[in-house]
Amino acid sequence: MASNSSNQKPETSNTAAGRKPPADRKEFLKRVSGPFGFLLLMIMICSFLAHYLNDSETLQEYADNNPELAYRDSLEASEPPEDEKLPNAPDASSTDATAGDKTVDKPPAYNIPEESSSDAADSTGTDSLISSGKDNAMTVNPERTIYQDGFYYEPLSEAVKQRITGVSYPETGCTVPYEELNYVGLLYVDFNGDVQEGELICNKAIAQDMVEIFYELYQNDYRIERIRLIDEYGGDDTLSMLDNNTSCFNYRVVDGTTSLSKHALGCAIDINPFYNPYVVFNRNGTGETYISPAGSEIYADRSRDFPYKIDEEDLCYKLFIGHGFTWGGNWNSSKDYQHFQIVL
């Protein structure tokens, strides 16, 4: 009888194949953890250096810093179309792009097409009125007459009446009714060569002359330092002249006299007054020569050549004379080189 021991599967020896394991598991882990830990440490150091020295970022950091790009597809899918987001938004292409545009180049002349006054104002861009409380472009005077782009006249609005009453227009005693005056809007080229918006108040009988004359001056790059209502100077003609301001209506007397000026009727205008002063010879029989404004004495010598001088060769002179005005520079006992007036 065969022994049972001969049918038993022999046990595999732990020493087979010549591989002898460590005597202890802890000793095994101790052997492999050293090199592995060193390798892991080197990987971490290299990653740190690559990130900060090269100023790079991970994909997650890129996504956090650029959500509009990283999540664009998901955002676009969740946003409604433009016409749904802004159902009442105006079309930007329909707004007036010329209203604020100001260039030194002279604009071409053109005829205003026949359309409603509000449409015409929007298309020409002349309703961007300058400061000091002028009418808002949204409340265009229906009686406005537009001559050319930027040049128009109209009856005095309530806002303008409020500006001038008690200043250039007396609260009592003024013999010129509001209805006899017109507000004039215009463009001009200042001493720096920049196009500016100006304003005048004149007698309504010469409003058309004013826009025609100043349009020609503008077209020919004629330089005027400023054109503001005298009311910005408290109605003080001397302060206006000292600032070389061109102005028209002012209910006042002639400088140095008690006689009512043609300015009080809105029928006279002073152009670049500091360079074209008012000169009175032998004032009151004293032999004194009176020159106004103070400081402009050098410009009273008309034999000298200097900029902005008005004489008979000057375009401004020719235009006003051509419209029936007379020039103060042709007077005898006094000379008012800045002054043009007309008798109605």
Residue range 120-177, pLDDT digits in tens: 334 334 344 444 334 444 578 899 999 999 999 999 999 999 999 999 999 999 999 9
pLDDT at position 298, please?
97
pLDDT band for 93, please (50, 70, 90 cuts).
Answer: very low
Q: Is the pLDDT of residue 232 over 50?
A: yes
Contact 311, 332 (CB under 8 A): no
Distance of CA 260 to the CA centre of its chain: 39
Residue range 302-339, pLDDT digits in tens: 999 999 999 999 999 999 999 999 999 999 989 999 99
Which residues partner with 290 through β-bridges? 280
In this predicted structure, which of 6-15, 30-39, 52-61, 83-92 has the lowest mean pLDDT? Answer: 83-92
For the four alpha carbons of 15, 20, 26 and 29, in that order, the dihedral sign comes to negative
Contact 220, 232 (CB under 8 A): no
Q: Which residue has the higher pLDDT, 233 or 59?
A: 233
When pLDDT is averaged across residues 2-26 and rounded to a whole number, the result is 48
Which two three-digit tokens encode residue 248? 């028209």
Distance of alpha carbon 119 from alpha carbon 117, whole angstroms: 6
pLDDT at position 321, please?
98
pLDDT at position 122, please?
40
Nearest to 151, CA basis, from 95, 219, 230: 219
Q: Is the pLDDT of residue 74 over 60?
A: no
Which sequence spans correspond to the domains of the chain? 102-341
When pLDDT is averaged across residues 175-202 and rounded to a whole number, the result is 98
pLDDT band for 75, please (50, 70, 90 cuts).
Answer: very low
Residue range 94-128, pLDDT digits in tens: 333 333 333 333 333 333 333 333 343 343 343 44
Instruction: Using a pLDDT cut of 90, give the percent of the chain over it.
Output: 54
Q: Is 265 helix (H, G, I), strand (E, B) or coil?
A: helix
pLDDT at position 40, please?
77
Q: Is the pLDDT of residue 257 over 60?
A: yes
pLDDT at position 50, please?
60
When pLDDT is averaged across residues 2-28 and rounded to a whole number, the result is 49
Type of residue at 340: F
Residue range 32-68, pLDDT digits in tens: 667 777 777 777 777 666 665 555 555 565 556 665 5
pLDDT at position 146, please?
98
Contacts of 293 (CB under 8 A, 6+ apart): 238, 241, 242, 273, 274, 277
pLDDT at position 111, please?
36
Distance of CA 163 to the CA centre of its chain: 23
